[in-house]
Amino acid sequence: MPPDSASDPAANQPQASLEQGTLAGTLRRLWPFIWPSDRADLKMRVLWSVVLLLAAKVATLVLPFTFKWTTDALTGANTAPIQPDNWAFWLVASPIVMTASYGAIRVLMAVLTQWRDGIFARVAMHAVRKLATITFVHMHELSLRFHLERKTGGLTRVLERGRNAIETIVRMVILQLIPTIVEVSLLTAVLLWQFDWRYVLVTLAMVAAYLYYTYIATEWRIEIRRRMNDSDTEANTKAIDSLLNYETVKYFGAEAREAERYDRSMERYERASVKTYTSLAVLNAGQAVIFTIGLTAAMLMCAQGVRQGHNTVGDFVMINSMMIQLYQPLNFMGMVYREIKQAIIDIEKMFGVLTRDAEVKDAPGAKPLVVTSGQLRFEDVRFAYEPDRPILQGLSFEVPAGKTVAIVGPSGAGKSTISRLLFRLYDVSSGRILIDGQDIRDVTQVSLRAQIGMVPQDTVLFNDTIRYNIRYGRWDADDAAVEEAARLAQIDGLIRMAPKGYETQVGERGLKLSGGEKQRVAIARTILKGPPILVLDEATSALDSHTEHEIQEALDRVSRNRTSVVIAHRLSTIVAADEIIVLDRGSIAERGTHAELLAKGGLYASMWNRQREAEAAREKLAQIGDDVSAPNRNPPGRSEPEVTRPDLDGPVATAAE
């Protein structure tokens, strides 16, 4: 995609708000990062850049004079700054010396300009880094609701374009817009001094017409560019979404359908891009016509002055040189306006994310959570993702310190919502959640989450090594602690069978590992974290029966003497829980121990019987399969063949699965 990018429809802001950004307002927001109060070195760089800017522009204006003096010397005109009867004329004002001076000043002008750009680069990139980091941190502070509503591709484009827009604004304003204003001002003064007011009038009229045309044409192009970038973002989002769901695409043989969807987005992008480049050609052509008219008018006046003896040929060359020299910054001015206009839109989107309040915030004066025993209490907790669709309705229960309470129920009963509320990914609509008598809304989020360990149902890993993903549980842990956590999670042996061991890459979202392997990595990093409170949200749902039994033993050991909330689908994993709470439509339908609930013959007993029947049916089918395949089994004394796992770079024993 071209860098000529504009607005991003993924930003969840009203379209009208995007038009409210102004250059002055944007610069006010950026100024603390360009002129940081705590960085004297960056302030000095800004001041030094201004000095070099003025020096470069003075050199730029001296350049046409050297051109004039050289031309007059070559034509014999008696207008050099040092007269022929002066002995220094042939030393200083000769055509050769003046030509060499012309070249030297051009070199000086280029050196000063590049020196300024180099010095200011650190200022610009510091502002980019600081604002991008602030935005990235703020994105993590926003609620889970915000991230579930947003598409990852669109959100990353907001950050990417905002980062580029900051650099554009800083560089364009400081290195292009201000220098151009300075140059036009100095040029106007020189024209008035060296020629007369008519030249000033023609030049200013040309500049005004040029800028007005640029403004009108750019405003016309903005909507075209916005449509192009809407298509760009749509195509990018669909590509990311499709690649993230690579396996699903393969399961349903939908490659052609995905390609067709992407191509439709690219077709819209193609049409919008053609219009964008066509409109750019119209803009450039109009600018060239306006400038050429002004240049020609000034040269005609000077040519008439030469014929009348008021000016020399050197003056004619000088006015041409000055106007041509003005064309470059004016041409940049058109580009500067386009880029600044676009950058303002992109930065407004970034600021739109920054100004979006976090749904879950630390209360004023919030103190760190102090866990003494780890007692959990839900008091009349009510919650709804949408006001008209309540999820939890007056939920009250207690998890005594060091005990295990299991929460079961049909899908949609609100089981996983409990873990999200406990972690304060959302805040309760009413009621309270207490840990050792402390309302979790009154303590800092960092301290709360540091005391709770989570093994989620859907484990997503970082695209890094196994060691990195396990160490994520406690970043300061040494290798021995990481490996001990893996051993407790029953994955150490499997890891060591891979050629790269703990340095094995797990792939995007951990896709190079099986579901059970990912789950064991998640369990290992929670074990490494060693929190006083554990939340197991379907922690063994991705494991087979044999591995589930091994993992369950490890979890039982880890949860011993820890307060544990187990959200379970497989009821066989929670029969030893101190209490089982059965949810139905956001309310507690039943509660008690496994034996007590079976004796009641209610919802829990019904769920238990259905699962037992399903397991019995699976065992019967497995037995039938074994009987059919028995003649093809390996002869006695021969071991099962190894299964090569290319994703772990080596053979892995089938028993590991």
Pair (344, 419) in one structural domain: no
Residue 35, in any domain of the structure: yes
Pair (525, 538) in one structural domain: no
Pair (523, 579) in one structural domain: no
Pair (329, 417) in one structural domain: no
- 501-515 pLDDT, tens digit per residue, is 888 888 776 777 777
The total domain count for the chain is 3
What is the predicted pLDDT for the residue at 14? 33
Residue with tokens 């160490």: 471
Pair (323, 394) in one structural domain: no
- Spatial neighbors of 93 by CB under 8 A, at least 6 apart, are 69, 73, 80, 81, 82
Is the separation of the CB atoms in 533 and 563 below 8 Å? yes
Pair (262, 221) in one structural domain: yes
Q: Give the pLDDT mean for 219-240.
A: 78
- 267-287 pLDDT, tens digit per residue, is 888 888 888 888 888 888 888
Pair (537, 426) in one structural domain: yes
For residue 360, pLDDT over 60 is answered with yes
CA-only gyration radius of the chain, Å: 36
The domain boundary, picked from 564, 584, 600, lies at 600
What is the chain's mean pLDDT, rounded? 76
Residue 654, in any domain of the structure: no
Pair (524, 541) in one structural domain: no
The span from the CA of 526 to the CA of 566, in Å, is 14
End-to-end CA distance of the chain: 44
Pair (119, 186) in one structural domain: yes
Structure tokens at 405: 């309470």
For residue 81, pLDDT over 50 is answered with no
What is the predicted pLDDT for the residue at 657? 30
Pair (57, 105) in one structural domain: yes
- State the pLDDT confidence band at 541, using cuts at 50, 70 and 90: low
- State the pLDDT confidence band at 639, using cuts at 50, 70 and 90: very low
Beta bridge partners of residue 395, listed in sequence order = 381
**Least trusted range by pLDDT, from 75-84, 117-126, 224-233, 389-398:** 75-84
Pair (580, 517) in one structural domain: no
The domain boundary, picked from 477, 512, 530, lies at 530
Residue 46, in any domain of the structure: yes
The domain boundary, picked from 354, 389, 423, lies at 354
Pair (278, 419) in one structural domain: no
| Type of residue found at 28 | R
The span from the CA of 657 to the CA of 655, in Å, is 5
Residue with tokens 């689908």: 569
Who wins on pLDDT, 227 or 107? 107
Residue 312, in any domain of the structure: yes
Residue 157, in any domain of the structure: yes
**Torsion (CA) 322, 323, 327, 333 in degrees, nearest 10:** 90
Residue 31, in any domain of the structure: yes
Domain span at residue 514 reads 459-530
For residue 147, pLDDT over 80 is answered with no
Phi-psi region of 626 (alpha: psi -120 to 50; beta: other; left: phi over 0): alpha
Who wins on pLDDT, 638 or 330? 330
What is the predicted pLDDT for the residue at 434? 92
- 562-600 pLDDT, tens digit per residue, is 888 888 877 878 888 889 999 888 888 888 988 888 888
Residue 175, in any domain of the structure: yes
Residue 563, in any domain of the structure: yes
What is the predicted pLDDT for the residue at 633? 47
Predicted TM-score (pTM) of this structure: 0.59
650-652 and 643-645 as β-strands: parallel, antiparallel, unpaired?
Answer: antiparallel
Helices (H) and strands (E) in the chain, counts: 21, 12
CATH code: domain of residue 58: 1.20.1560.10
Secondary element (H or E) of residue 529: helix 515-529
Nearest to 332 by CA among 284, 365, 398: 284
Nearest to 209 by CA among 279, 127, 292, 147: 292
For residue 164, pLDDT over 70 is answered with yes
CATH code: domain of residue 377: 3.40.50.300
- 169-181 pLDDT, tens digit per residue, is 877 777 777 777 8
Who wins on pLDDT, 422 or 621? 422
Nearest to 206 by CA among 319, 53, 59: 319
For residue 437, pLDDT over 80 is answered with yes
**What percent of the chain clears pLDDT 70, i.e. is strictly above it?**
83
Q: Give the pLDDT mean for 142-159.
A: 64
